[in-house]
Amino acid sequence: MKKLPKILRIKTVGKQLLTCAAALLFATASQAQNIKIGVLATLDGPLALLGQDAMRGTELALEEFKYQIGSRKIEIIKESSNGKPDVAVAKAKKLIEQDRVDFLIGPLSGSEGLAIKEYAKSVPTKTFINGTSAAQELTLRDPAPNMYRFTGDGAQWQAGLGAYAYDVKKYKRVVLISEDYSFPYSQVAGFAAEFCPRGGKIVEKFWVPLGTKDFSSVIAKIPSNIDAIYIIVSGADAVNFLTQYQQSGGKLPMIGGTPSVDRNVLSVKGAFRKSTLGVITAGPISESNEDPLWQNLVKAYQKKFPDGLGSPSFAALTYYVSTKAALTALAKVDGDLSADHKQFRAALQNIRMDTPMGFVSLDANRQGIVDNFVSEVAERPDGSLYLKLVGRAKGVNQTLGVAPETFTARGPASRDNPSCP
Amino acid sequence: MKLLFHVFLNGLTLGCIYFMVACGFSLIFGLLRTVNLAHGSLYLVGAYVGHDISVRTSNWFMGLIGGALAAGLLGALMQLVLLRKTEGDSLRQALLTVGFSILVADLLLWNYGPTTYQFDPPEYLVGTTVLPGFGPYSTIRLVAVGFAILVGVALWLILNRTKLGIAVRAGVDDRVMLSALGFDVRSLYLIIFVLGSLASGLAGVVGGSVFSVAPGEDSRFLLSSLVVVIIGGMGSLPGAAVGALLVGFSEQIGLAYFPNYAVTVTFALMVAVLAIRPNGLFGRV
Amino acid sequence: MRLPSLTKHAAVPICLLLALAPWILPEFWTLNILARAFALGIVALSLTFLVSFCGMVSLCQMTIAGAAGYTLALFSLNAAGLGVALTWPVAATCALIASTAFGAAVGWVSYRSSEVYLLMLTLAIAVCALFFVQQNMEIFNGFDGISGVVLPGFLSDPSTRPHRIYWLIYGSSAAVFAAVIYLGYTPLGMTLKAMRDNPRRLYALGYNVRTYRIIAFTIAGAIAGLGGILTTWYNAQISPGTIDVSANVAILVMCVLGGQKQPLGAFLGALLYILLDVFSPELFSRERFNLLLGTSFLLVLYFSPNGLMGFCSRWTRR
């Protein structure tokens, strides 16, 4: 019976693994007084570089608290997702149900965040603190009562950019080239909220499927009488687009969404970097921000991670701020996670703190009210590129200063919403 | 009109890169009856190793040669270790190549990390060329056309003007007869596998210069090779060329005029061809 | 289909143990490992059925399961507000019909293809479906997928849900497994196996080979659909990531790792895959899961003498 040995082998391996797991479970159960925090970031897949940086941000925050709250030590359990919603939920389940973490920090991508929100609703006794996920719907509509986001959503991250593009740069007609999913929809909503009322026009929108590498035909379709290209792509796709645009002889100035010219993209070596000079963008980071909190964070990052990206990316910053907020709240209640985190959640709701991205507080949907920074890509004397601060919007809330009913009445951001004309 | 010409050029240049990858895939299947589902990994190895070498020697051409050789070596390894022992079992070989591609992809990720890399070709190869009556166009894409022609002509010469080529073409039609006539079919297999891998590695460096080098490119080029070869026909060089151009055009036209469902249309085309003419347009197998 | 004697003798105690698992094992084990493994195992079973009964390898079984999953999600209350909410028996039935129809369509389109061509065709179908679903916002909600799928009433209470969903999945797996074994003894099953061994002979005997291929794919579609329904309820969501190429390849890996000729192999393979997924961070390295998986897959394929490879040798030697 040739199949017999295989079955036995698998069963033996299975038994060994069972024993291993049991041992681990018992071992972990005995350290009940430790506070266990699960951290979920995209260490695999196309967002892996951002995920790695996100973990760095969390570590920096933990170090400030010396991995301890009161008399209880903090234990960190990291898990990696790959940008896909179902994997994120599976890993979150593992953290909550196998590792029995007290609360979870993450995820990173917008789509993952929406899936985790639904999962959070099914685990009301645990608390979820968002990492970077910037999907609007995470907190705008039907939020989870146990999920907190201390950072901005995609629309908040473009606050100030529309105004700067129209008033200062005098761009009146722009064309949009963007990846086709929910996060860019919210970014466009944030940009259009300022750009369009001033008279600006988004002449045409080119929604490109996720994972497109060859933008040459889209570039060929860019109409001639426009002032700038509003580009929202991330990571490797951003590098591809900028390279191809430059090679095709294009000379239009560009407006970048938050991930389009972030630290991740600016640190890639290549000829395309010349074309990024002068691109304006907005988000939670501006690298020349003289706020001492930011400068100290950069120094700490460079010291602890000499082979990192040279400066924290928006992933590192958001995870840093989220972790720090969680730990601050935890310290305020002296590590009290009893009664389904009642005190902890009250402390989270009342967080009001200065962070490297400005002052942060929460609204009634547990969404952060944050500052936003408008930057322009500039070159340092040593040839490296950085985001130079050119504008700042303070205290941006999720409804971008508009009354909540009016804002939500506009409907969820999508390919055609908003549109101007 | 200008847009159409632009899209045509884009499709042509993209098709040329696809051709360089797919011709090896097609020949390997034609002669060895092996569906090399690790062909995309060969592309990626060529791209990463080629980039590594081009950075170390500050010479793009060295990277080109190095990348192609690395892919060729890996192909030889695959053929000798994995596939030679399992000859005759096409399905098992296909599955082995699947496992191998998972392995190689992860090893590359481990070694080079998730960062995106960009090649640095010499000045005269990048930038823009002004085409008469049209305007500026990306030089490196035109260079890709040049390389594809080079690879195509080289393979055509080998297949049609050398004794080796005659043996290969005979083998595509009837392997058993070839072996019965006393040809060393095994070394023939190895040579074709290596040639196909070399072309793929070369495509890796050229494609990496046009686009960039990042994890995930292997699946992309494997899938596109699959579509090209199925539409064009297995085991046929002209088929690979025609298929590659068709796929390149369809992708670019799709992206320009209906970006939402462009990829769906390309794959639907492939499903249709497979259903109606399972051997492809020029298929000999 | 003969069961190995170990399985015959150990079958009843093992089944009993598994049924009692929620009381024996920690909840994480029953819910996150066994339940997941059985649900995916049903999808892998659809592939094992195709391979062992009909000698066909399909790389789109997870996509077919996903068709059921999406149908179910769209016909239940969900967070994306898409689709029409129906009662769960109706929604589940529609989902099953969808996947069975999809399976039949795949069979119809591929009736001329064999072996490697079938592999490539089904891969192409999987990619086609993936990109369509990923790009379509109106029905499928694009990349975000459909989350917050509301479970049937008997699963909605969080305190009893873990046990009930485990028993639902386990019960379904046992039922489907028994059905497949039984099918092997029926005339239909024997016809399919005859088609695997020598389609020309079957054709000469007056059977319509094309019809039987379509029937085979239809049955596989139904099995995969059941797996899809269960995984969607288990995850309470579905997205393009559930049906992408790596998910389909994972089903193939499960089938091969566990043993292609035995229906039991599907479940063993799924269990092994899940165990690797959950424990590779502790055993090896979180990031190198694919390395582990690829290596195991290669080793099993290379050295395992029976199953898919054995059949294939018989086929090509003819």
Looking at domain C5-317, its CATH class is: mainly alpha
Q: How far apart are CA B104 and CA A374, in angstroms?
A: 42
Least trusted range by pLDDT, from A158-167, C181-190, C289-298: C289-298
Residue C6 has pLDDT above 70, yes or no: no
Please state the φ and ψ torsions of residue C174, each to the nearest 5 degrees.
-60, -45
Q: How far apart are CA C183 and CA C216, in angstroms?
A: 11
How far, CA to CA in Å, does A71 sit from each of A35, A66, A67, A256, C209? 10, 12, 11, 46, 73
| A386 and A251 together in one domain | yes
- Residue A165: CA atoms inside 13 Å, Cβ hemisphere, count? 36
Q: Which helix (H) or strand (E) holds A380?
A: none
Q: What's the rounded mean pLDDT across residues C91-120?
A: 87
CB–CB of B91 and C308 under 8 A? yes
When pLDDT is averaged across residues C278-286 and rounded to a whole number, the result is 72
Q: Which chains touch A (3 or more CB pairs under 8 A)?
A: B, C
pLDDT band at C233 (very low <50, low <70, confident <90, very high): very high
Amino acid at A92: A
Q: Looking at CA atoms only, how far is residue C27 from chain A in angstroms?
A: 8
Residue of C nearest to A12 (CA): C272
> Which residues of chain A neighbour B120 with C-beta distances below 8 Å?
269-271
Angle at A265 (CA atoms; ends A262, A267), nearest 5 degrees: 105
Cα(C23)–Cα(C311) distance, integer angstroms: 42
Check if the beta carbon of residue B116 is closer than 8 Å to that of residue A268: yes
Identify the band that residue A18 occupies on the pLDDT scale cut at 50, 70 and 90: low
Residue closest to A377 by CA, chosen among A225, A262, A247: A262
Percentage of residues in chain A having pLDDT higher than 90: 51
Report how far residue B275's alpha carbon sits from residue B159's, in angstroms, rounded to the nearest whole number. 30
| Contact check, Cβ <8 Å, A214/B136 | no
The pLDDT-based confidence of A192 (bands split at 50, 70, 90) is very high
Q: Does the pLDDT at position A27 exceed 70?
A: no
Which positions ≥6 away from A369 have C-beta within 8 Å? A360, A361, A362, A363, A395, A396, A397, A398
Interval A150-169 mean pLDDT: 92
Contact between residue A196 and residue A205 where contact means Cβ atoms under 8 Å apart: no
CA–CA min distance A107, chain C (Å): 14
C179 burial (CB, 10 Å; 0-12 / 13-18 / 19+) is middle
Residue A15: is its pLDDT beyond 60? no
Per-residue confidence band for A32, with pLDDT thresholds at 50, 70 and 90 = low
Is A414 an interface residue toward C (CB < 8 Å)?
yes
Q: Are A135 and A192 in a shared domain?
A: no
Q: Check whether C198 has a pLDDT greater than 90.
A: no
- φ, ψ dihedrals at C75, nearest 5°: -95, 10
User: Are residue A10 and residue A132 in the same domain, yes or no?
Assistant: no
C175/A150 Cα distance (integer angstroms): 48
Distance (Å) from the C-alpha of residue C205 to the closest C-alpha of chain B?
26
Q: What percent of chain A has pLDDT over 70?
A: 92
Domain ranges of chain C: 5-317
Q: Which position has the token pair 């009109």?
A: B1
Give the three-state DSSP class for C306. Answer: coil
Residue B227 identity: V
User: In this structure, is residue B284 part of a structural domain?
Assistant: no
Instruction: Answer yes or no: is B134 within a domain.
Output: yes
The answer to whether B15 and B245 are in contact (CB under 8 A) is yes
Which range, of A100-109, B14-23, C246-255, C261-270, averages the lowest pLDDT? Answer: C261-270
Q: Which of residues 210-239 of A touch C (CB under 8 A)?
A: 210
Per residue in B66-97, pLDDT tens? 999 999 999 999 999 888 887 777 777 888 89
Q: What is the mean pLDDT of residues B192-218?
A: 91
Among the partner-chain residues C125, C132, C294, the one whose CB lies closest to the CB of B261 is C132
Q: State the average pLDDT for chain C.
A: 84
Chain B residues closer than 8 Å to C308 by CB: 91-92, 95
The SS3 of residue A308 is coil
- Beta bridge partners, A368, equal A362
Q: Give residue B39's pLDDT band: very low, low, confident or very high (50, 70, 90).
A: very high
Report if residue B102 sits inside a domain: yes
Q: Which residue has the higher pLDDT, B256 or C173?
A: C173
Residue B72: give its domain's CATH number.
Answer: 1.10.3470
Are A233 and A250 in a shared domain? yes
Rounded alpha-carbon distances, angstroms, from residue A149 to A107, A113, A117, B57, C147: 11, 10, 11, 48, 19
CB neighbourhood size of B245 (10 A): 20
Q: Is C264 left (phi over 0), alpha (psi -120 to 50) or beta?
A: alpha
Mean pLDDT score, A220-237: 89
For C2, which DSSP code?
A: P
* Chain C positions in Cβ-Cβ contact with residue B100 (cut-off 8 Å): 294, 298
Bridge partners of A375? A281, A389
Q: A268 and A396 in one domain?
A: yes
The C-alpha atoms of residue A185 and residue A136 are separated, in whole angstroms, by 9
Same domain for A169 and A263, yes or no, is yes
Chain A residues whose beta carbon lies within 8 Å of the beta carbon of residue B7:
217, 220
In B, minimum Cα distance to A214 occurs at: B211
- Backbone torsions φ then ψ of C147, nearest 5 degrees: -110, 175
**Helix and strand counts by DSSP (H, E) for chain C:** 15, 2
When the pLDDT of each residue in chain A is averaged and rounded to a whole number, the result is 87
Q: Where do the H-state alpha helices sit in A79-160?
A: 85-93, 110-121
What average pLDDT does the segment B199-227 reach?
89
Q: What is the mean pLDDT of residues A20-37?
A: 60
> Does the pLDDT of residue A25 top 70, yes or no?
no
Which of C131, C259, C283 is facing A6, going by the closest CB pair? C259
What is the rounded distance in angstroms from the CA atom of residue B88 to the CA atom of residue B97? 14
The distance in angstroms from the start CA to the end CA of chain A is 73
Whether A234 has a pLDDT exceeding 50, the answer reads yes
Question: Which tops the pLDDT comparison, B34 or C183?
Answer: C183
The beta-strand segments (E) located in A214-253 are 228-232
Q: What does the alpha-carbon distance between residue B97 and residue B82 come to, in Å, rounded to a whole number?
A: 8
Residue B176 has pLDDT above 90, yes or no: no
C239 sits in the region (left: phi over 0; alpha: psi -120 to 50; else beta) called beta
Banded pLDDT at A172 (limits 50, 70, 90): very high
Is residue A320 a part of any domain in this protein? yes
Q: Tell me whether residues A249 and B262 touch, CB distance under 8 A.
A: no
DSSP assignment of C198-221 equals -HHHHHHTT--HHHHHHHHHHHHH
DSSP 8-class letter at A257: -
pLDDT in the model for residue B89: 74
Decide if C6 touches A, using CB distance below 8 A. yes
pLDDT grade for A280, boundaries at 50, 70 and 90: very high
In this prediction, residue C210 carries a pLDDT of 85
Residue A186 within a domain? yes
Q: How confident is the model at residue C9 (pLDDT cuts 50, 70, 90)?
A: low
Question: Worst-scoring range by mean pLDDT, A188-197, C197-206, C284-293, C298-307?
Answer: C298-307
Q: Nearest-CA distance from A110 to chain C in Å?
A: 8
What confidence category does residue A24 fall into, taking pLDDT thresholds of 50, 70 and 90?
low
Question: What's the whole-number mean pLDDT along residues A330-357?
Answer: 89
- Provide the domain count of chain B: 1
**Does C134 sit within 8 Å of A85, measured CB to CB?**
no
Q: Provide the number of structural domains found in chain A.
A: 3
- Across the interface, which of C79, C258, C262 has its CB nearest the CB of A118? C79
B276–chain A Cβ distance below 8 A for any pair: no
How far C28 CA lies from chain A's nearest CA (Å)?
Answer: 5
pLDDT exceeds cutoff 50 at C307 = no
Residues 6+ apart with CB under 8 A from A42: A48, A50, A51, A54, A80, A81, A82, A83, A107, A108, A109, A112
- A263 to chain B nearest CA, in Å? 12
Tell me if B28 sits within 8 A of B222, measured CB to CB: no
* Cα of A281 to nearest chain B Cα, Å: 21
C28–chain A Cβ distance below 8 A for any pair: yes
Phi, psi of B16 (to 5 degrees): -65, -40
Confidence of residue A328 (pLDDT cuts 50, 70, 90): very high
Whether B249 is in a domain gets the answer yes
Distance CA A140, CA A347 (A): 21
Contact flag C131-B94 (C-beta cutoff 8 Å) = no
Are A191 and A222 part of one and the same domain? yes
The band of C306, judged by pLDDT with boundaries at 50, 70 and 90, is low
Confirm if A238 and A261 have CB atoms less than 8 A apart: yes
Residues A187, A115 share a domain: no
H runs (alpha helix) in chain B: 2-32, 39-57, 60-77, 90-112, 139-161, 163-173, 175-180, 185-210, 217-232, 237-257, 262-276
CB-neighbour burial class of residue A90 (10 A; exposed 0-12, middle 13-18, buried 19+)? buried
- Is a pLDDT exceeding 70 seen at residue A23? no
Confidence of residue A7 (pLDDT cuts 50, 70, 90): very low
Q: Is position A418 within any domain?
A: no
User: How is residue C30 annotated by DSSP?
Assistant: I
Q: Is pLDDT above 80 for A67?
A: yes
Asked if residue A255 and residue A391 are part of one domain, the reply reads yes
Provide the sign of the torsion angle of the four alpha carbons A171, A173, A179, A181, taken in this order.
positive
- State whether C241 and A80 contact (CB < 8 Å): no
Q: Which domain holds residue B49?
A: 2-276
C287 and chain A in contact, CB less than 8 A? yes
- Look up the domain containing A386 and give its range: 156-288+372-409
Residue C299 has pLDDT above 50, yes or no: yes
Average pLDDT of chain B to the nearest whole number = 87
| Residue C313, pLDDT score | 43
Residue at B18 is within a domain = yes
If asked whether residues A128 and A147 sit together in one domain, one would say yes
Q: What average pLDDT score do residues A215-242 get?
A: 88
**Interface predicted TM-score of the whole assembly (ipTM), two decimals:** 0.83
DSSP letter for each residue of A65-82: TTTEETTEEEEEEEEE--
Rounded average pLDDT over B145-150: 94
CA distance A376 to A391: 9
- The two three-digit tokens of residue B45, written as one number: 């190895």
Integer-rounded Cα radius of gyration of chain A = 22
| Integer angstrom CA distances of residue A375 from A160, A198, A231, A288 | 10, 20, 15, 9
* pLDDT tier at A273, thresholds 50, 70, 90: confident
Enclosing H/E stretch for C20: none
